[in-house]
């Protein structure tokens, strides 16, 4: 009744041309599996057309800035310290008869986001925010010995890009069956990785349990292993994961042994709420704790660091036990996101990649529908040149033939999996036209002629830029066609947002 009367009073104020009084405590609650819930609260104070207060969630309390009220519309900013860099996020909302509908922007300032409806639960004024508690500062950690895994970039599938919180035991089994049926496993895609939202609560001994979507994690691992596949899982060094589930904070050794007992082969470890408890300068030591725990878990487990490339991650990630480490924020299924991540954010990182240790520009979006086939060819070509992990992010239960052809192209995969393990560098740039190249174990080279522009253009790869002299046999990888022996250079007409991917065999080798 109280909420109904409040909504009526807001509507009358808006009708009268006055700003709604939003003062009080507002709550939005989201139900999670296994009896868990996640709440986000707004503590607001309205003063005419000004709005002050703070937002509270599993990431902590943070003040709102530049809050404004205009009739039944509100807006404000949240300003966060992002590893020493100020990041702003803009929020907008509307008072309706259901409550306060607030648009929550996507993480990292990308497009999208979602709407949450907040209910007014009291008129209590926001209290002054106390100073944040001191964060844990860890001493530098000893280097974690290499675990001997991932001598070529890992290949497999991850649930997040397509399924988000819809992942389940049944879905994972269906995807695994699909990978075998459609040839993905035979092409080298081995890891079947469960991302966030599998976690339940801890038992009395502190052991992590999966929620009801995953009734028996060991049985699931056994099923995958019986098919020649491997199981990957997800956690965070913070108290909560990005989706608000149970993290591994203060349970690193215990969780590593639990994962090993289940039969887990791969761990993605996502920084998330670790920001709330650790000084970010301790990040290398925080990741080394889990790296050491995995090393002594009793099972070989590939270690994937997901810390977005911040705080010079590629420089220390291998010493923390990492087999691969993210170099960017999350990818989205569109050209701007993929091309920015793949081209712009991978410059000057090749020196950190090699057998057992890989730069990770995030998962593949191929087949999720946000790009053209031409753009997906570019996506696959660039990731292979970068010696990046190839983790499909689409629905593998029923894959269109054109998408399957991109994901399973043996010649492209061979470039990614080349045992020399040298990541490509950009060797030429002319406006929107770029050439990236990498040496291969057989003495040859792979090169991508890329066109990031709006119209078809001629792109030229020059041997002098790549490091070749004399003549070379040119093979067009996507066309599966030899283009003959060329001296000094090779040119091709490349469509907008497209690529011509070639292998070069120097004459006499």
Report the catalytic residues: 270, 330
Contact predicate 468/403, CB 8 Å: no
CA 267 – CA 292 distance, rounded (Å): 13
Q: How many CB atoms lie within 10 A of CB 230?
A: 20
Own/partner pairs for 138-141, CB < 8 Å, 24+ apart?
Answer: 138/278, 138/282, 138/285, 138/286, 139/285, 140/284, 140/285, 141/284, 141/285, 141/288, 141/289, 141/292, 141/320
CB atoms under 10 Å from CB of 253, counted, come to 16
Residue located via tokens 């991508």: 448
CA distance 61 to 42: 10
From residue 249, alpha-carbon distances to 311, 405, 424 in Å are 20, 42, 36
Closest to 85 (Cα-Cα) out of 360, 263, 310: 310
Residue 311 and residue 398: Cα distance in Å, rounded? 40
Query: Could you give the C-alpha distances from 429 to 233, 463, 472, in angstroms and in order?
Result: 39, 14, 22
Contact 469, 486 (CB under 8 A): no
* Main-chain dihedrals φ then ψ at residue 139, nearest 5 degrees: -70, 160
Residue with tokens 């530049």: 66
Six-digit token string for 349: 């990182």
- Regarding beta strands 471-476 and 499-506, do their DSSP bridges make them parallel or antiparallel, or are they unpaired? antiparallel
**DSSP 8-state assignment for residue 11:** H
Using CB atoms within 10 A of its CB, is residue 202 exposed (0-12), middle (13-18) or buried (19+)? middle
Half-sphere exposure of 73 (CA within 13 A, CB side): 4
- Residue 348's contacts (CB-CB under 8 Å, 6 or more residues apart) are none
Looking at the chain, the number of H-run helices and the number of E-run strands are 14, 26
| Cα–Cα distance list, 25 to 10, 42, 51, 267, 313 (Å) | 15, 6, 13, 39, 39
């Amino acid at each position: 009744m109280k909420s109904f009367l409040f909504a009526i009073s807001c509507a009358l104020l808006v009708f009268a041309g006055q700003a709604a009084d939003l003062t009080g405590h507002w709550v939005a609650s989201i139900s999670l599996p296994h009896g868990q819930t996640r709440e986000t609260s707004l503590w607001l104070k309205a003063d005419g057309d000004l709005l002050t207060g703070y937002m509270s969630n599993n990431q902590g309390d943070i003040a709102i800035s530049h809050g404004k009220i205009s009739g039944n519309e509100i807006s404000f900013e949240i300003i966060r310290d992002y590893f020493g860099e100020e990041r702003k996020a803009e929020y907008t909302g509307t008072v309706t008869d259901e409550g306060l509908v607030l648009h929550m922007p996507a993480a990292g300032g990308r497009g999208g986001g979602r709407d949450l409806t907040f209910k007014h639960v009291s008129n209590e004024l926001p209290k002054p925010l106390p100073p944040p508690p001191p964060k844990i500062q860890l001493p530098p950690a000893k280097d974690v010995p290499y675990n001997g895994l991932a001598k070529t970039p890992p290949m497999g599938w991850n649930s997040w890009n397509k399924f988000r919180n819809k992942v389940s035991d049944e879905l994972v089994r269906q995807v695994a069956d699909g990978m075998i049926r459609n040839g993905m496993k035979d092409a080298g895609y081995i890891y079947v990785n469960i991302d966030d939202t599998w976690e339940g609560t801890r038992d009395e001994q502190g052991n992590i349990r999966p929620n009801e979507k995953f009734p028996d994690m060991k049985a699931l691992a056994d099923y995958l292993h019986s098919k020649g596949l491997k199981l990957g899982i997800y956690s965070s060094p913070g108290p909560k994961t990005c989706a608000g589930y149970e993290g591994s904070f203060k349970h690193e050794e215990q969780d590593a042994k639990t994962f090993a007992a289940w039969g887990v082969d791969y761990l993605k470890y996502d920084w998330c709420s670790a920001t709330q408890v650790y000084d970010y300068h301790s990040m290398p030591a925080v990741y080394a704790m889990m790296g050491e725990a995995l090393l002594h878990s009793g099972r070989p487990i590939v270690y994937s660091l997901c810390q977005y490339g911040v705080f010079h991650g590629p420089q220390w990630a291998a010493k923390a036990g990492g087999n691969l480490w993210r170099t960017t924020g999350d990818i989205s299924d569109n050209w701007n996101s993929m091309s920015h991540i793949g081209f712009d954010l991978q410059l000057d990182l090749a020196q950190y990649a090699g057998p057992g240790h890989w730069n990770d520009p995030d998962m593949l979006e191929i087949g999720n529908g946000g790009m053209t086939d031409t753009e997906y060819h570019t996506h696959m070509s660039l990731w292979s040149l970068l010696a990046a992990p190839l983790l499909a992010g689409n629905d593998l239960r029923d894959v269109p033939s054109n998408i399957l052809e991109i994901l399973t192209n043996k010649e492209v995969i061979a470039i990614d999996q080349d045992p020399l393990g040298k990541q490509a560098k950009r060797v030429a740039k002319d406006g929107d036209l770029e050439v990236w190249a990498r040496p291969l174990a057989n003495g040859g080279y792979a090169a991508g002629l890329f066109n990031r522009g709006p119209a078809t253009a001629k792109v030229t790869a020059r041997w002098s830029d790549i490091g070749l002299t004399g003549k070379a046999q040119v093979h067009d990888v996507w066309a599966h066609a030899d283009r003959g022996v060329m001296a000094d250079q090779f040119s091709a007409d490349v469509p907008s947002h497209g690529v011509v991917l070639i292998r070069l065999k120097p004459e006499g080798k």
